Structure 1
Amino acid sequence: MIVVDQTFHQNFLFIVYNTNTLYYSLRRIWMKTNQESRKITIMTVDDEPEIIKSIERYLRFQPQFSDVNFVGAQSFDAALSMLEDENPAIIFQDINLPDGNGLQFVKQAKKKYPMIQFIVITGASDLDRAMEALSFGAADYVKKPLAMELVGRIATEALGRCDRWGELLWEEYLSEEEAGENSEG
């Protein structure tokens, strides 16, 4: 069991809520102004537009993804530029992109946004590279051709992790707000 003293806890929350550091992604992706206002974004990065459309089309008709924003990028550069604007919580990432290595994208993005749930898309011959992506922090992988039922299951698990992190941060935020109100009044 980890024992956290009050000073550490306050410093951690200060970092999460007030600075642009490693924990900034927690605040950007999951911070809520109220319980109902959160809308998660799922991004698919693949040079094949059919893959992007297939994932969105399949997930959109699953009830747990009815209030999710879907975006897609067909290149490494497009994905990098969308990362900041779209704040995706879940990214389906193809390993082989024409203008860059998908593994490098995972590695780069995880440094700045450690809580993004990456699901690596790989060909049968890329299994070693998929394992490498997992070592960089990817949550899971799927092989092409995509089995959409498996894509749905993995995306649902990733969405559950996002929700758990969101609930934890929301509870922390509320308790800090309450503590602030009590100390003022």
Structure 2
Amino acid sequence: MMSLGRVLVIDDEAIVRISCQRVLTPEGYDVVVTSRGDEAIGLLEKERFDIVLTDLKMPDMDGLEVLKTIKERWPDIQVIIITGYGTISTAVQAIKLGAFEYVEKPFTPEDILNVVTKARQAKGS
């Protein structure tokens, strides 16, 4: 089966990383997970990704910082923000910074699959 794209999931909660992997891998996505924003940037420097799902609140580098860095250096990557601290102002800020979409925890497998599918279609891959 051909990969539908490479997805990088950044979240300090293992359950979120595992959930995303469990939902996306059987659908044909090549999924890589990491718990840290700085580690994610390191991975992005070495490998190609189509879509990034990043948590907003992380200990080392927050999701908005990760988003800004990705959009500056790899503008064609679609970035989806995941957060359990969903505030409208943060969502608006993330979208202004170039986020494709915003998903609030707790999310369903369908939520993740739908947003990743939309991001892939918008990217035109």
Q: Same fold (TM over 0.5)?
A: yes
Shift of 1:38: 7.1
Structure showing the higher strand proportion among its residues: 2
Shift of 1:134: 0.7
Q: 2:93 aligns with which of 124, 128, 132?
A: 132
Q: Find the residue that maps to 1:100 and give its secondary structure.
A: coil
- Report what 2:8 is aligned to: 43
- 2:10 partner letter: V
- 1:55 partner letter: C
Structure showing the higher helix proportion among its residues: 1
Shift of 1:75: 0.8
Q: Which runs of 5+ in 1 are unaligned?
A: 1-36, 167-185
| Contact 1:122-1:143 within 8 A present in 2 as well | yes
Percent sequence identity over matched residues?
31
Q: Which is bigger in relative contact order (C-alpha 8 A, separation at least 6)? A: 2
Indicate the structure (1 or 2) with the bigger Cα radius of gyration.
1
Measure the CA separation in 2 of the matches of 1:124 and 1:82: 26
- Report what 1:120 is aligned to: 81
| Contact 1:41-1:86 within 8 A present in 2 as well | no
Measure the CA separation in 1 of the matches of 2:9 and 2:122: 18
Q: Which runs of 5+ in 2 are unaligned?
A: none
- 1:117 partner letter: Q
Q: Deviations over 1:18-75 (max 9, x none)?
A: xxxxxxxxxxxxxxxxxxx87621000000111011011012223xxx2x31101101
Q: Deviations over 1:130-162 (max 9, x none)?
A: 221110001001001122211111111111123
Report whether the alignment pairs 1:95 with 2:59. Answer: no
| Contact 1:122-1:130 within 8 A present in 2 as well | no
